[in-house]
Chains A and B, each alone.
Chain A
Amino acid sequence: MLSLDLFANAIVAGVLLGGFYAAVAIGLAIAFGQLDIVNIAHPAFVIVGSYVAYIVNTHFGLDPVLIGVLVAPVFFLVGVAIYRIYYAAFERTGQESLSGLAFFFGLMFIIEVVLILVYGVDYRLVRAGYIGETIELGFVGIPFRMMVPFVVATTGTTAIYLYLSRTFTGRAILAVAQDRLALQLMGADPVRIKQFAFGLAIATTAIAGSLLIIIGPVEPSLGRLYIGRVFAIVVLGGMGSIPGMFIAALILGIVETLVATFMGPSWAPAVAFGLLLLTLALRPSGLFGR
């Protein structure tokens, strides 16, 4: 059954899926990969982004991706606020690893329940002109529903990567994880930098959320399915490396899709996470880690 047609389509689908995974993981690549903040509530924020996209799309008919971009600044401010609480309660006192984790666990549940209380538990979906359309390139079909998230994810990742490596603030973010004291000596306030970075991380969830609801229906507890994936992607790619994260996301997407097409989808998670375990055993710093 190994036909070229099927294989080519599987690779393409895997790449598109991987791009989407990257969009979801990039915020965590910043928060966890670079700032060492174990934000286990990250997928919950993505779900909030999905709900925002749903509300605005239903009432005003705006395109979900546009909504994500418009709402991102609000999410940024939320991220800043949360970081301040986190900093005051944990980082300042040096408790971050375990207590921070528990803090974000609690936050995850609170977000989920608030969503349930406000919006109920029914599935939410969005409408956009391109959902359901496919372009055919020879024997390879590319559904818009998957392509749009891929394009947005690639653009966003590139933009963030360039920002981090070219601008002062961006490089300060990269620096703060590596050597906080040196950064202070260079005249930048590490707390403000980290605050900004975490805000940026949460801002990405607004867009990731709109991409998620383009792909499929969303309900409040859906975030739980993504916790494993996003952490796996960040670690596999290497902590602190944005390009590494993107490649790791692509690898995950392709592996999952190939296994689903040829072996049987039920083994896809085992293969994907087995790959992660192997990487951790052989090269813990990930593909491109610092």
Chain B
Amino acid sequence: MKISVFWVSIVALLIAGLVFTEVVGNEYYFTALYVILQATMMAVAWNILGGFTGYVNFGSAAFFAVGAYTAIALDKALGLPLPLLILAAAAVCGLIGLGVGYLTLRLKGVYFAIATLAMAIVLETLVTNWTYVGGARGAYILTPENHLWFDSYIQMLFMLMLVLTLGSVAISRRLNSTRLGRGLAAIRDDEVAAECAGVPTLRLKLISTTVMGAMMGVAGAPYPFFVTFVDPVSAFNLFVAVNAIAMPMIGGTSHWIGPVIGALLVGSMQEIVTVNVSSELNVLIVGVMLVLFISLAPQGIVGLVQKHILRRRR
């Protein structure tokens, strides 16, 4: 029964999204929702490796940025349509994720995190020196003319992002609740013990890093079309990495719905604050929120809810 509820909700959300694009003319909602959906995808992706498998990735911005730059490079070289660009980004970033998994075979915990940070900086330097995509000069992606049956390009981007995000949530849910997910959780709890119990830790870790990488690349691929001007500094920036970690943490890392809740909550908060508080206070609010939430609810919102339900049951 549970499965059908999930799929029904997915379909319902898709239809709601379509209706939204037909009914609502105010473009602001689409830009705001795009940003929130992008953050949700990043959070869901991060959580696959971070929450499910227990490996903290500091370099999320790198996957996102490589996805964006793959889209830019192929758009410039071959002029491919957006769906193909997204597939290419998924492939490239998935491969990088696989590579990261292989190279960090023996690294655990904090060493793995530092390695991802180092990898992010190396990738950023490579992109900065890659003049074909503009290097540090930045690249302009002009908004294409074609936006199918939608009223405007941003509505199409919104719908696209909705589809991609719901897809990633479905994948994440599958990873969480199947035997695969239990294997990942075993790695998170005690890798050595899991190995001894016969869990194919290497294979699962590689699956984890690859899926995470691919998903983040997909989140990044439409970004150049949203923002029009991309340069390495803004694509590889710290906020992307922080949000990718903070949102699942606030939502709860052990369950697939945690990052979704966290992203919706924090993302909306950030968006509301950006367009209502006209000063540097908005960064402060995010920082304070993070500290408070983490201190008071370390297991995230999912953790709070679970505790509540447990208490009720008693």
Contact = CB atoms under 8 A, between A and B. Distances in A.
Interface of A: 32, 36, 38, 85, 89-90, 93, 95, 97-99, 101-103, 105-110, 112-114, 116-117, 224, 227-228, 231-232, 235, 266-267, 269-270, 273-274, 276-277, 280-281, 284
B242 interface: yes
10 contacts: A97-B56, A97-B109, A103-B291, A113-B280, A116-B280, A228-B118, A232-B118, A270-B125, A277-B103, A277-B122
A277 to B, nearest CB: 5
B103 A110 contact: no
B111 A109 contact: no
A116 B287 CA distance: 14
Which 8 A-B pairs give the minimum distances between C-beta atoms? Answer: A109-B287, A106-B290, A106-B291, A270-B125, A113-B284, A110-B287, A273-B118, A89-B295
B129 interface: yes
B280 A224 contact: no
B114 interface: yes
Given A106-B290, A109-B287, A266-B129, A284 B106 contact: yes
A32 B8 CA distance: 47
Interface in B87-144: 103-104, 106-107, 109-111, 113-115, 117-119, 121-122, 124-126, 128-129
A102 B121 contact: no
B294 interface: yes
A97 B294 CA distance: 12
Contacts of B111: 235, 280, 284
A102 B290 contact: yes
Interface of B: 50, 56, 103-104, 106-107, 109-111, 113-115, 117-119, 121-122, 124-126, 128-129, 238, 242, 245-246, 249-250, 253, 280-281, 283-284, 286-291, 294-295, 298
B114 A99 contact: no
A225 to B, nearest CB: 10
A235 B118 CA distance: 11
B284 A102 contact: no
B125 A269 contact: yes
Given A90-B298, A277-B103, A109 B122 contact: no
B128 A266 contact: yes
Given A107-B291, A284-B111, A267 B118 contact: no
Contact of A102 (B109, B129, B280, B294): B294
A216 B246 CA distance: 32
A217 to B, nearest CB: 19
Given A232-B114, A284-B106, A284-B107, A110 B291 contact: yes
B245 A270 contact: no
A280 B246 contact: no
Given A99-B249, A114-B284, A266-B128, A276 B118 contact: yes
Contacts of B284: 109-110, 113-114, 117
Contacts of B126: 270
Contact of B288 (A106, A224, A273): A106
A233 to B, nearest CB: 10
A216 B119 CA distance: 27
Contacts of A273: 118-119, 121-122, 125
A32 to B, nearest CB: 8
B295 A269 contact: no
Nearest to A112: B283
A109 B286 contact: yes
A231 B117 contact: yes
Contact of B246 (A102, A110, A281): A102
Nearest to B135: A266
Nearest to B246: A102
B291 A277 contact: no
Contact of B114 (A97, A108, A235, A269): A235
Nearest to B106: A284
B103 A281 contact: yes
Given A231-B114, A235-B110, A270-B125, 5 more contacts: A98-B56, A102-B290, A106-B288, A106-B289, A112-B287
Contacts of A99: 249, 294, 298
Nearest to A224: B238
Give the residue among B103, B121, B250 with the most A Cβ atoms within 10 A: B121
